[in-house]
Amino acid sequence: MQSSIFLFAALVSTITIVKADAWEVYDFPDGRTVAPADSSMVALQAESILIAPSETLLEETGLPLMSVHAVFHLQNVSDDSLRITVGFPFETAFGSSYHTLPDSDYYGHMSYPPDLIGTDVSDLLPEYLNFRSRADGVPLEVEFVAQEKDSALGLMHRPVDAVWEMSFAPGQSVRLQNDFNTSWDLDAGENPRYAIRYLMGSGSTWKGTVDSATVVLYVPRALPNEAFNKDMVCCWDYTAPAELSEWRLVWNFRDFEPEGWLEMAIYECEPERALSYVDGRSAFLDVASDISWSADSIVPSALQAVRTATHCRIPAPFVIGYLYEMLREHSPPAEELGVSPEFALELVVSAQRRLEDDMQVVRRNGFEQFLPLFALKRHWDVSDAHRFDYSPATKRRYLFLLSALPVCIEGGAPNNVELSSFYRLLGWYWPGWEIWGSPETSIEPLPGGPE
């Protein structure tokens, strides 16, 4: 999958030292950025980023294009007049839903890009990009140029840079405004994932630290909201610290050295739809043949069998509900099922009751809102401990659940009824089992439990 190139803080180089085609390009997980000469004397005092859905739908994803409105307050902190070159880099591929070359050329050029240096690259830009730049309200003349390829830096695709020149009097502050469009990146694999990123680390290339930054993202209502039911399991995952309010996500920073990136990702799973592919008699018997029909093993073995058959991470209550419906609908004889259908149904009903009890424990302790996140989130790191910093009560419950994550990833049993009840519902965990599809990483060191 080609990652989408989202948004980069404006980058500056002293024009007398570094030419545009000699900028260093570093490889980031979801984009590229450039770095100026160390002698830059322009400071980024503040930045304000607004990303919101436009009225234009992108046919490939069915989602609206995202309009990006970026404002940067720049100041020449030297006593000299400066003339600088500022740039935004874009790849010749824009997200999983778009690339600029014909398929035959594009896939061939992923490994062996054509030599574009010195050529007109304007036809490589998507029509929807519509990049514009203004300084104190005055439109700037923007040129798109090809960037030198440097495989030693891990550059996979040839970038195109939007570049322009700016002048600063000694001590002058300038309001730089960039506007353009981008799109959500879609990974249509198991449990589809929509993602959009904003690279913060490029801001570290300006002089000194950044006084303040605010990034506001409005999520399109065409994307699913958080849910945990048989029709839809959906979680909203984002880099912390941030504050989520309905369809708006806000990051605020003060006096900081930018690093890394901000990301909003939405994972979804449609259990009923996924299970519909294995609801025929023959498909169900194939699933049933991989289930261990005993009280201790029916749930984890069913999770494994359904995961293998559907390639989806489906929470336990919906997997057991599927078994119940299939047994009632198909009533396979013992010679096909491996056990008597009456005994199998008895096991399933008992498992359903246990999971219903677990859900009651979860609701009673106020953990229900966390089920989608823990069910679908694939990667965890230390920043996740700060997800709910803006809400102390929510954070206490969240950290309590998070404290058991490493133990449960290893198939261990947390020494707490509430934690065990919560994790048994997720679909990738069962005590004593290592189930395919558990999260790949966890937080070390662990945060503490509730205060």
Return the higher-pLDDT residue of 39 and 259: 259
Which of 86-95, 287-296, 410-419 bottoms out in mean pLDDT, i.e. has the lowest?
86-95
For the chain, the three-class secondary structure string (H helix, E strand, C coil) is: CCCCCCEECCEEEECCCCCHHHCEEEEECCEEEEECCCCCCEEEEEEEEEEEEEEEEECCCCEEEEEEEEEEEEEECCCCCEEEEEEEEEECECCCCCECCCHHHHHHHCCCCCCCCCCCCHHHCCCCCCCEEEECCEECCCEEEECCCCHHHCCCCCEEEEEEEEEECCCCEEEEEEEEEECCEEECCCCCEEEEEEECHHHHHCCCCEEEEEEEEECCCCCCCCEECCCCEEEEEECCCCEEECCEEEEEEEEECCCCEEEEEEEEECHHHHHHHHCCHHHHHHHHCCCCCCCCCHHHHHHHHHHHHHCCCCCHHHHHHHHHHHHHHHCCCHHHHCCCHHHHHHHHHHHHHHHHHHHHHHHHCCCHHHHHHHHHCCCCCHHHHHCCCCCHHHHHHHHHHHCCHHHHHCCCCCCCHHHHHHHHCCCCEECCEECCCCCCCCCCCCCCCCC
Q: What is the pLDDT of residue 164?
A: 85
> pLDDT category, 117, cuts 50, 70, 90?
low
Q: Which residues contact 359 (CB under 8 A, 6 or more apart)?
A: 317, 368, 421, 425
Minimum mean pLDDT range among 8-17, 125-134, 370-379, 403-412: 8-17
102 pLDDT more than 60 = no
State the average pLDDT over residues 120-125: 70
Cα–Cα distance measured from residue 414 to residue 408, given in angstroms and rounded to the nearest whole number: 7
Residue 126 confidence (pLDDT) above 80:
no
Q: Please, what is the average pLDDT of the chain?
A: 80
Beta-sheet pairing, 227-228 with 193-199 = unpaired
Tens digits of residue pLDDT in 57-90: 887 778 898 898 989 999 999 999 988 888 776 6
**What pLDDT is recorded for position 139?**
97
Res. 20: pLDDT tops 60: no
Q: Who has greater pLDDT, 122 or 246?
A: 246
Average pLDDT over every residue of 214-234: 94
Residue 404 — pLDDT band, cuts 50, 70, 90?
A: very high
pLDDT, residue 12, reads: 40
In the predicted model, is pLDDT for residue 191 greater than 80? no
Q: What is the mean pLDDT of residues 279-285?
A: 95
pLDDT computed for residue 201 by the predictor: 67
Range in 18-32, 36-50, 115-129, 400-414 with the lowest mean pLDDT: 18-32
Mean pLDDT confidence for 313-327: 96
- Between CA 41 and CA 82 the distance in angstroms is 8
Q: Among 276-280, 301-305, 384-388, where is mean pLDDT lowest?
A: 384-388
Model confidence pTM above 0.75: yes
pLDDT at 34: 34
Q: In whole angstroms, what is the distance from residue 76 CA to residue 134 CA?
A: 17
Q: What is the pLDDT, as a whole number, of residue 17?
A: 21
Task: Name which of 20-24, 97-101, 223-227 the model is least confident about.
Answer: 20-24
Res 29: pLDDT? 30
pLDDT at 334: 92
| Confidence band for 92, pLDDT divided at 50, 70 and 90 | very low
Is 377 buried (19+), middle (13-18) or exposed (0-12) by CB count in 10 A? middle
